[in-house]
Amino acid sequence: MHILLATDADWIVDEVTAALGGPDTSFTVCREGRVVTDVVEQRTPDLAVLDLQIGSMGAMAVTMALRLDESSGALPHVRVLMLLDRVADVHLARRSGAEGWLVKPLDSLRLARAAAAVVAGGTFTEGVPSPAVTPDPDPADVSDDAGAAEEEAVPAG
């Protein structure tokens, strides 16, 4: 598997290579977001791991550029896993077209799970609010007979 890692932070390079590295895994590290499309053109990665903050062109802009180039036929589809700084950045990841994202701080187990899901063609998301669940009324508590309602006198006072 070949992974393109775009970040300007050494600690992220260390975390990602430690979590995802193996005998059959190679990495290309880009320190500037503007060169990601050129690198993809030379060698298409199985996965692009993009840091939200990469110099002057972060993960959001890089992902959108990759999707635009894909839609024009200039580049093949690249699966993207975004590394977000905070939960508030989830809306950016959702709009960008990334297949997955993690909210920092990172850990190797989550990175490995997310990468495996995205490479397999699925998605991996964090920080997305769950829709509110309204429980269905218990059929025993609901009566279809309006006349069956019980009245109870309550003294005032």
Which homologous superfamily does the CATH classification assign to the domain defined by 2-123?
A: Response regulator (3.40.50.2300)
Describe the crossing of helices 108-119 and 10-20 by its angle, rounded to 10 degrees.
70
Judge whether residue 114 has pLDDT over 70: yes
pTM of the model as a whole: 0.80
Q: Specify the range with the lowest mean pLDDT, choosing from 33-42, 84-93, 142-151.
A: 142-151
Q: Tens digit of pLDDT for each residue in 77-95?
A: 999 999 999 999 998 899 9
Question: With contact defined as beta carbons under 8 Å apart, do 87 and 125 qualify?
Answer: no
Judged against a pLDDT cut of 80, whether residue 132 lies above it is answered with no
Query: Count of H helices and E strands in the chain?
Result: 5, 5
Mean pLDDT of the chain: 89
The yes-or-no verdict on residue 135 having pLDDT over 90 is: no
Q: What is the pLDDT of residues 44-75, one digit of tens each?
A: 999 999 999 998 899 999 999 999 999 999 99
Helix (H, G, I), strand (E, B) or coil at 41: helix
Q: Give CA–CA dist 118/129, Å, rounded.
A: 20
| Residue 6 burial by Cβ neighbours in a 10 Å radius (0-12, 13-18, 19+) | buried
How would residue 149 be classed by pLDDT, with cut points 50, 70 and 90? Answer: low
Maximal CA-CA distance, the chain:
84
Higher pLDDT, 43 or 151: 43
**SS3 helix, strand, coil % of the chain, rounded to 5?**
40, 15, 45
Judged by average pLDDT, the poorest of 23-27, 78-82, 133-137 is: 133-137
Delimit the domains of the chain by residue range.
2-123
